[in-house]
Every structure is written in C-alpha cells, then in structure tokens.
Amino acid sequence: MLRDGLIFLSGSRTARRIATHAPGARIMARRFVAGETIDDGVAAVRGINESGMTASLDCLGESVRNRTEAEAAAATYVAVLDRIQRERLDANVSLKLTQMGQDIDDAFLRANLGRVLDRARDADLFVRFDMESSEYTQRTLDFFHRVWDEGHRNIGIVLQSYMRRSEADARAANAIGARVRLCKGAYREPEAVAYQDKADVDRNFVHLMELLLAEGRYPGIATHDEAMIRATRAFAERRGIPSSDFEFQMLYGVRRDLQHQLRRAGYNVRVYVPFGEAWYPYLMRRLAERPANLLFVVKAVLAESPFRFLRRRA
C-alpha cells in the first residue's frame, strides 16, 4: 500500500509542486541526489572514485515533450562526458530516452541522442539506456538494437526482474554481447506484464542474474537486497566466475556501508549518481523501492531542521 502510494505521488504534478517548495524537501533529496549541477555530480563521483568505486552519472529528467528541453538535456550529457574525460573520472553515464525526445518522434530522438553517442564514442565512454515503465519497454529495446546495429558498441540496457518478459530480453542481449544492468523495477505495473509479489520478483531476479553471469557480458547486478547479493556471490563462486566479470551497482546514498563492504571484499562496485533539478519523481521511486528509506530520510531531515531545538528543550 505504501509503495503504491509513493509511486502514485511520483507522477503527481500537484504533489511535486508542493514537495519542491516544502521546507526541508531539498535536505531530504540530497541524501539520494548529488545536487542540481554538473559540478555537484562530478564532486560526488570524485569522492566515490577515491573510495575505489566507479560511478554512473545521471542527469535527472524524463517524459520530455519539448524539443528545446530535450536538446538541452543532450547538451548537458555532452558536457558531462567532457568532464569525465577531462578530469579522468572512472565513470560512465545513464540516461532515459524519454528525456532525449522519445515521445516527440524517433527521427528527433536519434538525431538528438546522436550528439551524446558521438561524444561518448570519441571519448571511449559507455552510455546506459535506462528502462522506464512498461509502456516504453519494447520501444526502448527496439531503439537500443537499432543503434547497436548501426555500430555503436559502447551502449547498454537495463532489464527489470518484475517484468515477465525479461528472460527473453536478457537472452537477446546476451546473444549480441550487450551489457545489461539488472534491477528489480520501480514503476507501478499491471499484473499482466509484471510480477506483483516480492517473492516472485526476487525469484526472477536470481534466475536472470544467473543467466547474465553465465552467458552475458559484464553485467551490472543492481540491488541493495543482501539476499540477492548473497545469491550472486554464491553463484559466481560455484561457477568459478571471477569478480572482474561483473559488478554490483547501488544507488547514491543507499547502503553506503554495504557498498564499501563489497569493495573491500574485492568486488567491483558502481554507484549510480543522479543530479539535476528534476529530483522529485526520482526520490519518490527510491522511497517506493524500499519504504524503510522513508523513516531514514525523515530522521535525517528532522536532525537538520530548526525543530531539533524544540526536541532538545522538551
């Protein structure tokens, strides 16, 4: 119930308008979002690299239907790639196709995203196409395979274990040697296309993880669920798959203790670093993924708010 409510709020314009002007809202967001500028994102990546981990920078934004806004998003990604190359950061980028103009038309999307892909190719950097709701799954995969067939090999895709179709999509990606990030999924989906029970989502996550580790190309296992992490480590050990053949991926600000534990254990860890002004829907979906995060961030906001003085006097 709480998860569904948070996912609903992530798409509510009224809730977004209220939240983005509420006292303390930005404090809450900064737990999970590096900041609003490229400089903020780069600073976060620099600290992550110093800890021995890699990163993926994501300029937040989605569902763009204005050409000027989509072009500005592409320009931001080009600037991010410039900074990664110039400052020799150990990082790649993640982006959403709806931010690049997928809802405008395919020709515009290809031309607009082409600026990013060309810059990434020149800099020998990797670009991940994030997966959005089921409405876009086939369109995103079709576009990915189109660009792949055009010769771009520095791109990857995301698959979600709550989607019933993901095994077939994983096998298709493995067949061409494309890199896959596996996550559970954070959108509200109908039962016809997505598993609803956590046990089913987890079971499919383990199945897909094993398929990607056994047959895929350097998959990213994106989870904070310790049971999923244990299953990944155990499978790799049983099959003799070296830790250099895959990586764990985690969100900025979530389970930093676990990130460092895995790195100390010799595993590759990539931290997904979002930045930008469009932080509200992202934050709501992160809370929906793990509602226990809600209590954590509320405590953090209260600790840094003026009301802390009232609590001390009570």
- The tokens for 252 are 């900025």
Q: Where are the domains of the chain?
A: 33-278
- The tokens for 30 are 């900064």
Digit-by-digit pLDDT tens for the chain (314 residues) are 545 554 454 455 554 554 555 555 566 666 789 988 999 999 999 999 999 999 999 999 988 999 999 999 999 999 999 999 999 999 999 999 999 999 999 999 999 999 999 999 999 999 999 999 999 999 999 999 999 999 999 999 999 999 999 999 999 999 999 999 999 998 889 999 999 999 999 999 999 999 999 999 999 999 999 999 999 999 999 999 999 999 999 999 889 999 999 999 999 999 999 999 876 666 666 666 555 555 544 544 444 344 444 434 43
Catalytically annotated residues: 130, 181
Maximum CA extent, the chain: 66
Handedness of CA 277, 123, 98, 211 (dihedral sign): negative
Q: Give the architecture-level CATH label for domain 33-278.
A: Alpha-Beta Barrel (3.20)
Query: What's the pTM value of the predicted model, to 2 decimals?
Result: 0.85
CA 9 – CA 18 distance, rounded (Å): 11
CA 141 – CA 147 distance, rounded (Å): 10
